[in-house]
């Protein structure tokens, strides 16, 4: 019996198949119910009891051997069918390209984070606005040039539906719906009808901050600005406030920071002055508070607004606004390591 099993194993070991049909024939011949391996079981009944163990084991081994051998043939046939190519298991995996955060998103998050530490919360408003929220409530005179077609994208005239030209509209949206104390930061996209160039675009991004409470003073504004500038641009940063004019603040100022490139000595970046302008600010005009139903005798406030592109330009030395909206992977990938 053992001899018979060995002979069968040798036979199976030598068997080959050139195609699927031949392989199937081998399977039927050896491994199917009526195949040669199962046929051994009939003889097994006649094996003397003392040999049953040894013979049973040999039959099991034969069965495993035949199964493996046919599987090997199957693999070889599959490979041949796939053009004889074996997968190269040592090859590097295809690189996974992960996205990077857009520089404007990075800087927006940095700005929000700094103001959050001062207790400001995010407020948002619509990009499609009306004249009252964007201009009238903010004290823009009826004939103010900013309302002109030159600057503002109008969707409809009378009633006015327009794309907001600044995020200051979120100030009045908040003041008309909440009671002081108000401490909000409003990031968002704004639109202006400008020819697209390295220095101007028809849409860009701003962050507005507004603080209204009892006894808010210019000193609070200045300290907030100093804190922001140093958190954003480093602890050595100096700030300078220059008198300016905005319809919705009185007094108004523009803030410069010491030039981060030359440390204030004067270079081509700051045009030799040592200072670069970064934002507008001021004390909320009492007329704006009143327009929003806030008693200007009881409450005062400060506001400030900055362009995110401008801050990004200063922080990462990007000198062409168009780069921010062109989705050039070479540009965006440069910010992979920034946070
Ligand atoms: N809204 C102004 C602009 O678009 C920026 C600004 C200036 C916002 C002074 C303010 C502010 O809140 O106080 O140019």
- Token output for 157: 């005239």
The region of weakest confidence among 36-40, 116-120, 262-266, 274-278 is 36-40
Residue nearest (by alpha carbon) to ligand 1 atom 5: 305
DSSP state of 91: S
* Residue of 205, 220, 223, 229 whose CA lies nearest to 301: 220
Q: Is the CB of 246 under 6 A from ligand 1?
A: yes
125 & 198 share domain: yes
Let me know whether 135 and 72 are in one domain.
Answer: no
Residue 56 has a pLDDT of 86
Taking the C-alpha atoms of residue 224 and residue 245, their distance in angstroms, rounded to an integer, is 20
Among the ranges given (3-17, 270-284, 301-315, 320-334), the one the predictor scored with the smallest mean pLDDT: 3-17
**Ligand 1 atom closest to Cα of residue 166:** 4
- Report which ligand 1 atom has the smallest distance to the Cα of 282: 13
Kindly state the tokens that stand for 309.
């592109």
17 and 145 both lie in a single domain? no
Look at residues 51, 81, 111 and tell me which one is the last residue of a structural domain: 81
**pLDDT, average across residues 222-227:** 98
Its domain, for residue 217, covers: 103-333
Ligand 1 centre distance from Cα of residue 307 (Å)? 9
Q: Is the minimum distance from the CB of 183 to ligand 1 under 6 angstroms?
A: no
Residue 217 has pLDDT above 70, yes or no: yes
Is the link from the previous residue into 134 a cis peptide, with omega within 30 of 0?
no
> Any bridge partners for residue 255, and if so which?
241, 279
Residues 74 and 112 in one domain: no
- The per-residue pLDDT for range 144-184, each reduced to its tens digit, is 888 877 789 999 988 899 999 999 999 999 999 999 999 99
**Do residues 137 and 66 share a domain?**
no
For 37, half-sphere exposure in the C-beta direction (CA atoms, 13 angstrom radius) is 24
In a domain, 279, yes or no: yes
CATH number at 268 reads 3.30.930.10
């Amino acid at each position: 019996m053992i001899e018979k099993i060995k002979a069968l194993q040798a036979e199976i070991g030598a068997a080959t198949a050139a195609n699927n049909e031949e392989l199937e024939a081998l399977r039927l011949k050896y491994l199917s119910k009526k195949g040669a391996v199962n046929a051994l079981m009939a003889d097994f009944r006649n094996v003397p009891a003392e040999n049953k163990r040894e013979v049973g084991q040999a039959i099991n081994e034969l069965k495993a051997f035949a199964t493996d051998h046919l599987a090997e043939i199957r693999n070889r046939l599959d490979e041949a069918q796939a053009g004889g190519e074996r997968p190269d298991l040592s090859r590097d995996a295809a690189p996974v390209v992960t996205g990077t955060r857009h520089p404007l998103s990075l800087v927006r998050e940095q700005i929000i984070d700094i103001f959050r530490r001062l207790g400001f919360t995010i407020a948002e408003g619509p990009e499609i606005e009306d004249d009252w929220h964007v201009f009238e409530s903010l004290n823009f005179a009826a004939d103010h040039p900013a309302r002109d077609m030159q600057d503002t994208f109008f969707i409809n005239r009378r009633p006015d539906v327009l794309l907001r030209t600044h995020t200051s509209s979120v100030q009045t949206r908040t003041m008309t719906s909440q009671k002081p104390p108000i401490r909000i930061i409003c990031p968002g996209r704004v639109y202006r009808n400008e020819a697209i160039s390295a220095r101007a675009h028809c849409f860009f991004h701003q962050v507005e901050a507004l603080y209204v409470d009892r006894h808010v003073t210019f000193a609070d504004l200045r300290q907030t600005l100093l804190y922001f500038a140093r958190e954003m641009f480093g602890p050595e940063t100096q700030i300078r406030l220059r008198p300016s004019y905005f319809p919705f603040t009185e007094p108004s100022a523009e803030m410069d920071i010491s030039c981060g490139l030359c440390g204030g000595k004067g270079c081509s970046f700051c045009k030799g002055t040592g200072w670069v302008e970064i934002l507008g600010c001021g004390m909320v005009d009492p007329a704006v508070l009143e327009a929003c139903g806030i008693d200007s005798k009881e409450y005062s406030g400060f506001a400030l607004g900055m362009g995110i592109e401008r801050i990004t330009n200063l922080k990462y030395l990007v000198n062409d606004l168009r780069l921010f909206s062109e989705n050039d992977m070479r540009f965006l990938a440069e910010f992979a390591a920034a946070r």
